[in-house]
Amino acid sequence: MSARPSARHPPQVSVERAGIQTTVQDGGRFGYQHLGVVPAGAMDMESMLLANALVGNTPDNATLEMALQGPTLRFGCETLIALAGASFRICAAHGQTVTMLASNRPILLSAGTQVAFEHAPDGARAYLAVAGGFDVPSILGSRCTYIPAGFGGHAGRALKKGDCLALLPQASSLARTRFGSLREKNSGIVSHGSGVTTVRWSVRPGSLPEDEVTLVRFISGRHRALFTAQALQAFESSTYRISPDSNRMGYRMVGPRLERANTRDVLSEPTNLGTVQVPADGSPIVLMADHQTTGGYAKIAEIVSADIARLAQLRPGQQVRFTPCSLAQALALARAARAALTTKTQALAWQYQA
Amino acid sequence: MGSQPAIRVRSVVPLGDTAVLVEFSDRLDPVVNAGIQRLADAIRRRRLPWIRDVVPAIASLAVHIDIGLTDEADTVEVVRDLVEVCLADTTVPHRAPRPPIVVPVCYDDSFGMDLPEIAGLTGLSADEVVRRHLGSDFRVLMVGFVPGHPYLGGLDPTLAVPRRSAPRLRMPAGTVAIANAQCVVYPYEIPGGWSVVGRTPLRLFDAARARPSLFEPADAVRFERIERAQFAQIAKNEGTQ
């Protein structure tokens, strides 16, 4: 096989089935919030960063985010891939041979392999990284898709059947070089005989739900004093369910309604990822990756950044409880989460060192 | 900030552990907003690596922080100090005012669907409502909600009508609407609870343009009346229809 891209093995991924919502995502688009452009990016940053590290990428490479029901993709050329996050059933077909594959590990696919990402028994989202990243244009400093305004990623929208995503021209030589490094460092390379090769280890993200009720920590919201004592009590002591009409913009919570003691209008002002706002109907909404940059609803709480990835992995119907913490605790949690992830990504980077 | 009217910090609160909100007032005051815009410039000018975004708003300002690039234990205190230093900084040059952004608007019945109702509420004729909207000197107080969505201050006070009790679920892109002392223009098809006076054929946000957002905070804005034929022509050029 030639090291250069050929017409027979084009460096691209074609979409044979789109999945529920499959979008190109990266670390997000910063520097434009004053123009109403939200950072967006991966809902579960930890899994996205881990997926990139699993194939030897840099943290800023573009990945595919899949939700609940994944896509079926055909890889035009030899490609090194990894799926991190929710453990989707991965079914690789090459010719007559079908292989079931596991998440959270590097997998070398031969040209022409079809991979179906089905459903996940745990978690809501996973990130598919390919060696070199998906080669979509960088817009305002990021390759991530921002669906509400229709730009970024692939054509500013979720993938559709028939779409073709470009890989780097050198994607297959990168795949071979990087997998060569894995072969040197690991004795247990598994060849499935169908042109699918992988390793015997995996590195899991820390964001997958482990309990029936997920505990999510928050700092007091700045409009806390506008709510009744009962509402503040209910928010901290009740179990909420993720509503089915939750999406990348926000998670609506089903549970006790939160009444205001003072119903004065709040002047529209900046919001943040994790802001919990309460509209007039009393049902809290947690602002997620594609949220509005400003809003005029009262803020009862702010979810700590270290818990956003775990929240992003919850499916509609799953349960959460909100528990208070201080700003100092939230910062300590964020730095601890960052350090734990760095330990994982550094170990993976060593696997790819020449 | 030299000869600029002073603005005073009312409160500094965390928006979680990755942003801090500085509040200057609990109401719309154009003088306070102008001070916030200058403060945003002064903060950006320092090019601090740990600041990801500075978002000036109607009466507040948010600083978004990359907490991986600062080891400060208290983000609120850091931002409070930064704001005090920037407010006291007399070396910040005045930004040369940009010429007003002139926005063509068609006030025809089919676009300005709430003009009769606004006329009823204000006791003015529909024509007079349009005349006073055209005569208002607007300024961008904040761009937010979705990309390129301006909140404009400076509406003729006689046109202050409350928000509609029932928001409409889908308003077309380009819709120009008013409520209380403000005016908005919708860059995309979004829900809206404001009273509609007309529609512009301009594309408000285009990520591929050198200036993606037609409106930026602190810009002066003026509306200009156009008829249906001009609307259609401009919409064709802008690719908005």
Residue B2 confidence (pLDDT) above 80: no
Chain B residues within an 8 Å CB radius of A249: none
Residue B113 sits in the same domain as residue B215: yes
What is the pLDDT at residue B1? Answer: 43
Give per-residue pLDDT as tens, A240-289: 999 999 999 999 999 999 999 988 888 999 999 999 999 989 999 999 99
The per-residue pLDDT of chain B, averaged, comes to: 93
Question: Per the CB < 8 Å rule, is A327 touching B19?
Answer: no
Query: What range defines the domain where residue B83 resides?
Result: 11-88
Answer whether residue A71 is part of any domain.
yes
Whether residue A233 lies inside any domain: the answer is yes
User: Is pLDDT above 70 for A115?
Assistant: yes
What per-residue confidence (pLDDT) applies to B98? Answer: 84
Does residue A131 share a domain with residue A265?
A: no
C-alpha distance from B173 to closest chain A C-alpha (Å): 11
DSSP strands (E only) in chain B: 11-14, 19-23, 51-56, 60-65, 101-106, 138-143, 150-153, 168-171, 175-179, 182-185, 190-192, 195-199, 220-226
Task: With beta carbons under 8 A apart, name residues in chain B contacting A31.
Answer: 52-53
Residue type, B241: Q
Residues A298 and A237 in one domain: yes
> Over A130-175, what HEC string results?
ECCCECCCCECCECCCEHHHCECCCCCCCCCCCCEEEECCCHHHHH
Q: Note whether residue A346 is domain-resident.
A: no
pLDDT at A58 over 50: yes
**β-pairing verdict for B220-226 and B101-106:** parallel
Tell me whether residue A5 is in a domain. no
pLDDT tens digit string along A153-184?
Answer: 999 999 999 999 999 999 999 999 999 999 99
Residues A189 and A261 in one domain: no
- Token pair of B156, please? 């003729």
User: Would residue A4 count as lying in a domain?
Assistant: no
Same domain, A240 and A145: no
Pair B130, B226 in one domain: yes
Are B122 and B83 members of one domain? no
Evaluate whether residue A326 is within a structural domain: yes
Q: Does the pLDDT value for residue A2 go beyond 70?
A: no
Using the predicted structure, report yes or no on whether residue B234 has a pLDDT greater than 80.
yes
Whether chain A has a CB inside 8 Å of the CB on B147: the answer is yes
Kindly compute the dihedral angle of the four CA atoms of residues A46, A189, A114, A139, in this order, to the nearest 10 degrees.
30
pLDDT class of A5 with cuts at 50, 70, 90: low
At which of B35, B56, B88 does a domain end? Answer: B88
Whether B133 and B209 map to the same domain: the answer is yes
**pLDDT at residue number B6:** 79
What CATH number did the domain enclosing B220 receive? 2.40.100.10
- Residue B4: what pLDDT? 53
Indicate whether A18 and A122 sit together in one domain: yes
A267: left (phi over 0), alpha (psi -120 to 50) or beta: beta
Is there a single domain that holds both residue A87 and residue A28? yes
Same domain, A184 and A316: no
Is pLDDT above 70 for A26?
yes
User: What confidence tier does B193 reach under pLDDT thresholds 50, 70, 90?
Assistant: confident
Where among B88, B113, B130 does a domain terminate?
A: B88
Query: B60 to chain A, minimum CA–CA distance in Å?
Result: 7
Mean pLDDT over the full length of chain A: 95
- The answer to whether residue B110 sits within a structural domain is yes
Q: What's the pLDDT tens digit per position in B108-121?
A: 999 999 999 999 99
Do residues B45 and B8 make contact, with C-beta atoms less than 8 angstroms apart?
Answer: no
Do B167 and B79 belong to one domain?
no
A179 and A218 co-located in one domain:
no
CATH of the domain at B21: 3.30.1360.40
- Quick one: pLDDT band at residue B60, thresholds 50, 70, 90? very high
User: Is A293 within 8 Å of B145 when comparing Cβ atoms?
Assistant: yes
Q: Looking at the 3D structure of chain B, how many domains does it have?
A: 2
Which residues on A lie below 8 Å from B71 (Cβ)?
A: 335
* A2 within some domain: no
Q: Please tell me which of the candidates A34, A222, A299 has its beta carbon nearest to residue B217.
A: A34
Q: Which residue has the tokens 């670390």?
A: A27
Cβ of A330 and B16 within 8 Å?
Answer: yes
Please give the tally of structural domains in chain A. Answer: 2
Task: Identify which has the larger pLDDT, A185 or B152.
Answer: B152
Is residue B60 domain-shared with residue B84, that is, in the same domain? yes
On whether both A230 and A162 belong to a single domain, the answer is no
Query: What ipTM was predicted for this assembly?
Result: 0.95
Kindly state whether B57 is in contact with chain A, defined as any CB-CB distance less than 8 angstroms: yes
A72 Cβ contact list (under 8 Å, min separation 6): A15, A16, A17, A19, A114, A115, A116, A117
CB contact under 8 A, A35 and B52: no
- Output the domain CATH number for residue A195: 2.60.120.1300
CB A29 within 8 A of CB A41: yes
Q: Does the distance separating the beta carbons of B143 and A35 come in below 8 Å? A: yes
A151 and A51 fall within a common domain: yes
Q: What is the CATH number of the domain that holds A333?
A: 2.40.100.10
Burial A297-331 (b: 16+ CB within 10 A, else e): bbbbbbbbbbbbbbbbbbbbebbbbbeebebeebb
Whether residue B6 is contained in a domain is answered as no
Q: Say yes or no: A79 and A188 in one domain.
A: yes
**Same-domain pairing of B107 and B185:** yes
Q: Is A144 found in the same domain as A27? A: yes
From A205, A230, A252, the end of a domain falls on A205
Residue A121 has pLDDT above 90, yes or no: no
Averaged pLDDT, B93-102? 84
Which chain A residues in 76-135 lie under 8 Å from chain B, judged by CB atoms?
A: none
A270 in a structural domain: yes
What is the domain range of residue A180?
12-205
